[in-house]
Every structure is written in structure tokens, then in C-alpha cells.
Amino acid sequence: MASAPSLCSHPNDNPSKEAAALDTPFFSLYNERIRELLDAVDRLRDLKVTKEGIQLPTIVVVGDQSSGKSSVLESLAGISLPRGQGICTRVPLIMRLQGSHHHSSEPELYLEYKGKTVPTSEEGISNSINTGTEEIAGKQKGVSDNPITLVVKKKGVPDLTMVDLPGITRVPVLGQPEDIYEQISKIIMEYITPKETIILNVLSATVDFPTCESIRMSLAVDKSGERTLAVVTKADKAPEGLHEKVTADDVNIGLGYVCVRNRIGEESYEEARAAEASLFEAHPLLSLIDKSMVGIPVLAQKLVKIQASIIGKCLPEIIKKVDEKHTQNVSELNILPRKLNNTAEAMAVFVKVIGSAKESLAKLLLRGENDEFLDDKTMHCSARIVELLDEYSQQLHSRSSSVEEESSKNNLFLMEEIGVLGESSQVALPNFLPRSAFTTILKQKLKGVAQTPYEFTRKVWNYIEALSCASWWGIQRVIRSCKPPAEGLHIISSQR
């Protein structure tokens, strides 16, 4: 495969000012400084800080199916991406382009997905992406929001990081889920909604811009168009009226338009760029378009500048959010029990846990202090025990009264006691109750309430048990957190 053309030169003898600027020493120095910032952002992306709510500045490529997205990215990166009928990009493809300024350096390409790194080559990149896509999204034609990262380090490419998303399609084909449009829309909206995102909207010159679904989506999140750049592909296929389209700006593209020509067939990248320059220079209609709005080199420079601007704008806020998250996580980490390294530390933690449990129970059961459970009256031990005692007293009186009432109804009032006294008659002092009569009568009275003390004791026991378990809930959680390091400590001790 032919090597990619350097984007630091334009194949035309009279390049535009913007394209020529790419070849200046200032631009090389500018790229080196941007590379450092871009590497920092890429490292943050690898750390998945977006899952922590920290959005990163990103150039996101969107477009309707067959709008020419792949061709634009191929021209920028100088590599061949998967092509074919239907959706070729089925997962987000994060492209990290890193320009090399060493003439002798060989291109370096590799993929990152599912926690692994897969080296590849310029000839095998398309197959490698397809393999990774099938591993993530399956061998059918479904999509997934799990990304693949493609790193391209080679001479002549701009320092850019872009995210290529699946092309928008409304009608599912064989092998695609019925809700394919909804799935793709969800992925796109997730990427383009953050205000830190620059939307690279790829439009075909052969269609009316207002009818493009990608335009509708970008306007939904960027009504002013201040973070949307449009790339118009296939300019050679529909030159009529293109000048008017990009100058009238009926769809509110705040960052402007860049018109490009797609690589055709087996053209090399050098041939494609030469043909593109000739087209916009000599075509009677396309030559009317301002040279700052045509060509892949111009697009590359625009993207680099826009990327530098958005990184510079967002970086202070990103640093602030990272610091806040770090402080928050450190605070949460300090709350967790520390790691136990030896038996002495484990014993100290154990004694502390037991002491905490003892103090908590003493406050509830002995001192009647309810400050830990002010709103939970079931934990107010002293008051509840008094209630149980009152209930017990009432039960004793009610059961004794019920026995006497039953005797009165049967006209047997005191007859049982008189019978006991008669059986205990003996020579003794008058008006003194014999001891045997007293004990017999007492046993008979107690027999009627014999189960009441057992029931009372069981109620008090159950309440104290429930209260103890409830007050130990937090302590049990601490014990569970201490269990794994304690087991690890036991294993270490047994190996010595």
C-alpha cells in the first residue's frame, strides 16, 4: 500500500495559506506542545474518568450512513479502514493520531480493547478492526457502545484524537436488531451531548444538508453551532450549488465547512490529494469556494487548532474536577478499616470493636441513655422494661381476680380456705394461723398464676435479644469488613 502523504505540504504549486502554514517551524513546535496536552487527556481517557462524571474534550465524528466518514478518516490517518455495504463502524473507534517528525521512524499501529493491546500493520489494520469489532459486538450486524482504540504513530499525520461513531441508519437490514436506529442514536447522543465535545459532522454533497439526520442530532445539543464543524464529502459528485450551500449555512454550522474529495478506487493517498487540489483549483464551480474551506490539509489544520482551543479551555476545569474527586475518594478511603499487618494490630481492632459493643449495650441496658436511637422508641430499653413490668402486674391481678370471681359465682367464697383450716386444726394458740395451712393456701393461689412469670421472663428475654442485635448491626458490619484481612493475616502467620 502506498504511504500516506504528508499533511505538512500541499501537492499544488500554489497551496492555500492555511495549508502552507502546516509546513512552518512554528507549526511543528505548536504540534509538539499540543501533543503533550493531548497525551494527558488520552491518559485520563484510559483511566475512564468519564465514568466519574468528568467529561474530556473530544472530537466526535458523526454522519449518516454512506456519507463518507471512513474516507475522511482514512485521508487524515493515511490508513485503510473497514469498508462494505451497510454499517462498517459498529463500535466507537477512538483514533489517536500521533505525527512523527523523524524521517527514519517506521509507522507504529496497534489496537486497544477489552483490556488488551493488539499490534497491527497498515496492511492489516482493516482486518484487525473487524476482528476486534466481532469480539465486542458479535459477528452479526449489531452495535455496541464499548469502544476500540486505534493508535497510529507515523510521519505526516496530524496530532489528533477523534472518536468515529456508527453511521446513522433508520431501516434495519438482515442481521440487525429492529431498534438499530435507537441504539445508534443513543450512542451518538451520549458522545455529542457534553459541552466539551467538538462535533465533526460529515455530510455528503449529494444530499440536502437540512435533511441529514446527523444535522438534526447535532442541532439538538448544539443549537448555536459553536462546537460543530462540517465536512462536505463527494464534492466532485455534486459540484452544482455547493458553493451556495457552504456559504449560505442554512443549518447553522458555527465552526464552518471544509469541502473534500473522496479517494476513488485504487488511488494512492498522494494521487488522491493531488486530484483534490487540482479539482478545487481548476473546476469552474468548485474553484469559487474559498481555499480556506477546501482540502484535507486544511481540515487537518482546522481540527488541530480547534482541538488545542477546546483543550486549553477545558483543562483548568478538568484539573479542578479531578482534584475534587481525588479529595472525595481519599476521604472515603480513610473511613474504611485499614489493612491489618500483624496479630497485634488485629487484636487491637478486635478489642476496639468489643469495647464499642460493650459501651453501646451499657448505655442502652444499664444507664438508659438513648442518644444513639432518639427516633427509634423500640430501642429505649428502660421505658420498655417498665411497660413490660406494668403489663405483668396487671396480668397477676387479673388472673387472681378471675379465680375469686369464679368461686363467688358458685357460692364457694372462702370455702376452700375454711376447709384447709379445718384440716389443719390442732392444739395451738387462738387466732394464730397454722403454718401448714398458710403454705397450702399459698400454693393453691400461686397455681393459678404459675405460667405468668415464665411468659414475662420470655418477653423480657426476647426484647433484650432483639435490642442487642439491633444495636450491634453497625458493629457487625465492621466485623465483616475486618474478616478478610484477618483471614489473610491468619494465612500469613500459618506460613511462617
pLDDT digits (tens, 9 = 90+) for 206-264: 888 888 999 999 999 998 888 899 999 988 888 888 888 888 878 888 889 999 988 88
Q: In this structure, what C-alpha cell is assigned to residue 272?
A: 488522491
- The amino acid occupying position 60 is V
Residue ranges of the domains in the chain? 17-329, 343-495
Mean pLDDT of 414-427: 57
Q: Give the CA radius of gyration of the chain.
A: 42
By DSSP bridging, strand 58-63 and strand 160-164 are: parallel
Task: Report yes or no: 104 and 150 within 8 Å, Cβ to Cβ.
Answer: no
What pLDDT sits at residue 325? 87
Confidence category of residue 2, pLDDT binned at 50, 70, 90? very low
Nearest-angstrom CA–CA distance, 258 and 243 = 11
Confidence category of residue 486, pLDDT binned at 50, 70, 90? low
pLDDT digits (tens, 9 = 90+) for 26-38: 344 455 667 777 7
Task: Report yes or no: 77 and 70 within 8 Å, Cβ to Cβ.
Answer: no
pLDDT digits (tens, 9 = 90+) for 180-200: 899 999 999 999 998 889 999
**pLDDT of 273 over the 80 cut:** yes
Nearest-angstrom CA–CA distance, 496 and 60 = 57
**pLDDT of 359 over the 90 cut:** no
Mean pLDDT of 8-32: 43
Q: What is the DSSP string of 92-125?
A: -EEEEEEE---TTPPPEEEEEETTEEEEE-TTTH
pLDDT digits (tens, 9 = 90+) for 301-344: 888 888 888 888 888 888 888 898 889 888 888 887 667 677 78
Backbone angles phi, psi at 156, to 5 degrees: 95, -10
Query: Cα 390 to the chain's mean position, in Å?
Result: 57
- The amino acid occupying position 59 is I
What pLDDT sits at residue 31? 59
289: which DSSP letter?
S
pLDDT digits (tens, 9 = 90+) for 432-451: 666 776 777 667 777 767 77
Burial of 257 by CB count in 10 Å (0-12 exposed, 13-18 middle, 19+ buried)?
buried
How many CB atoms are located within 10 Å of the residue 301 CB?
A: 23
Mean pLDDT of 422-441: 64
What CATH number was assigned to the domain covering residues 17-329?
Answer: 3.40.50.300
By DSSP bridging, strand 257-259 and strand 228-233 are: parallel
